[in-house]
A and B are shown apart, each in its own frame.
Chain A
Amino acid sequence: MFDEKDVILEAKHITRKFPASGGRTLTACSDVSLKLYKGKTLGLVGESGCGKSTFMRFLVSLDTPTEGEIFFHGKNITQLKGEELRQNRQYIQMVFQDPSASFNPKMKIRDIICEPLMNFKRIKASEKDAVARKFLEMVDLPGEFADRYPHNMSGGQRQRVAIARAIALEPEIIVMDEATCALDVSVQKTIIELVVGLQKQKNISIGFIAHDLGLIQSFAHQIAVMYLGTIVEVLPGEEISTSAMHPYTQALLGAVFDLNMDFSKKIESIESEAPSPLDVPPGCPFQNRCDRCMEICREKRPALIDVAKGHQVACHLYT
């Protein structure tokens, strides 16, 4: 299913360090390598604060990695500047985690949706109204919302405006950072069907960050699991609930609230202290929370190795 000639974007050994208080260094991403394939969806899951958004922001050139390179159609995009950078934006669009923060509060929804289209001269000013309405309706919002301001809408309505704006440009890659988490499950389903439909029609690649494992397995071709800045497992989307091998991935699966769960069950939780990107231990990043931790896990960082077709794990249990 994943043919090397279909790789549209490849991130190689991406590391991002931030200066932190007290002269310390925070490592948000550590040696991350991932590929996006044409017409396929890569799902990215992992603990809050593990570096998912930091990584995805590199794809849209909003930040530059401390180390590593990202190739889009074979061209390194981490060093783009000026007009080249601007042009590249139309091929890779991102829906941000915090949509309200990315809107100009003084602009009407019509202008918000049409801004990128106008910037790249894809439409004329006279077409704005019709275009805005068309895209609003695609994301299940009334066309009249074109006349509203972002603050006069609910959280989930704003989120859908952000999605409408990103798909309007028909980019080759769409990065969606928790782009459906404020939607009710029924609208969410509509949006996923819409996005998957567009993907099939136009062969779009999608990078999708989410916390809902059930959602991500419903349409991701490939899922990468991140923990404390590193990729600990990559596996085919449909296999997440059956073949996950990394103890962290298994812990995630065990913490899902499900309609068929036993509601009298006490909530299990990982008792140990939350890990910090300020003091990443040598060895495996998951060691202090892993109930199968061994001697070697405290000494040596496990490498990501192939365990099956399309399935890689970084864990000493499998080496």
Chain B
Amino acid sequence: MAMLELKDVTISYKNVPAVQNVNLSLEEGEICSIVGESGSGKTTVIRAVLGLLAGGGKVTKGDILFDGETLLTRSGEEWRKLRGTKISMIFQDSGAMMNPTRKIGDCFVEYIRTHENISKKDAWEKGVKMLENMRLPNGDNVMRSYPFQLSGGMRQRVGIAMGMTYQPKLLLADEPTSALDVTTQAQIIRQFMELREEYGTSIIMVTHNLGVAAYMSDYIVVMKDGIIEDEGTRDYILKGTRKEYTKTLLDAVPSLGGVRYV
């Protein structure tokens, strides 16, 4: 049985469909990347899985199953138990989602203590360790900082650290590394892969970096205009596809030593 299954899912904002008839299935330990057009509905799809659609978004058709059970009718209490530990999410723009008036450490400690019955001091240490795993120097200083005192990529890594704290069964990552330099990105990608190897975590990763998608994924989904335009293994997407849009995307990937406009 698949760990996660989206069956013919349509999602609308105020009755205007943003995503239509999406089918997707993910086994334990599988990594799937969603790539595609800006505005095609990638964030919408993974937020729907976590039951956190913004702006009045609703699943208007189809079903989303996790371990064989529907996610669409879960109560608030059930979601609280699932989120963070079983299913967790790294948001696109983690930085903008942080409360600007609270220090990182206060939020992180609170987050840890809603999932685990430990002392503030232990929670603090756990947070510091997670931050340092994300290659943030001086985890302690980061904990004592307000979001505006961190760089964009540092805020993003705080979001990644939180998302990975409890080795979730399913990790939904929305452009987790697009704000990171390439060496830091490589280290974070390695940690995603380790999470999968050690804990069998399944990952859905939204990314614009086709190199990253190709490196990490067992399966790649290409979205355009609210539907799945193309999908398949890395070899199929990179070498076998006949879809014009996928080819356009591949052709547009900037490469070192490639086209110059000036």
Contacts and interface: CB of A to CB of B under 8 A. Distances in A.
A253 interface: yes
Given A21-B144, A218-B260, A151 B55 contact: yes
Category for how many chain A residues contact B: 35 or more
Contact of A183 (B151, B193, B208): B208
* Chain B CB within 10 A, most for which of A53, A100, A184, A214: A184
A270 B249 CA distance: 31
B257 interface: yes
B43 to A, nearest CB: 6
A276 B249 CA distance: 37
A256 B211 contact: yes
B240 interface: no
B38 A268 contact: no
A259 B210 CA distance: 7
Contact of B248 (A186, A260, A278): A186
B159 interface: no
A170 interface: no
A138 to B, nearest CB: 15
Contact of A259 (B183, B238, B248): B238
Given A257-B214, A269-B190, 16 more contacts: A97-B152, A98-B152, A151-B54, A151-B55, A182-B93, A184-B35, A184-B249, A185-B210, A214-B254, A238-B260, A240-B256, A258-B211, A259-B238, A260-B255, A267-B215, A278-B138
Interface of A: 18, 20-22, 24, 26, 41, 45-49, 52-54, 97-98, 100-101, 151-157, 160, 177-178, 181-189, 192-193, 196, 199, 211-215, 217-221, 237-238, 240-242, 251-253, 255-261, 263, 267-270, 273-278
Contacts of A26: 141
B262 A275 contact: no
Interface stretch (B58-66, B78-86, B165-173, B174-182): B174-182
Contacts of A53: 151-152
A240 B179 CA distance: 21
20 contacts: A26-B141, A48-B152, A101-B96, A181-B179, A185-B208, A185-B252, A186-B37, A192-B261, A213-B182, A213-B256, A217-B256, A217-B257, A257-B186, A259-B253, A259-B255, A263-B215, A267-B186, A270-B183, A276-B138, A276-B141
B137 A47 contact: no
Interface residues of B, number: 66
B93 A98 contact: yes
B178 A182 contact: yes
A221 B110 CA distance: 47
B180 to A, nearest CB: 5
B23 interface: no
Nearest to B150: A49
B241 interface: no
B42 to A, nearest CB: 8
Contacts of A52: 151
Given A186-B249, A212-B254, A255-B182, A275 B37 contact: no
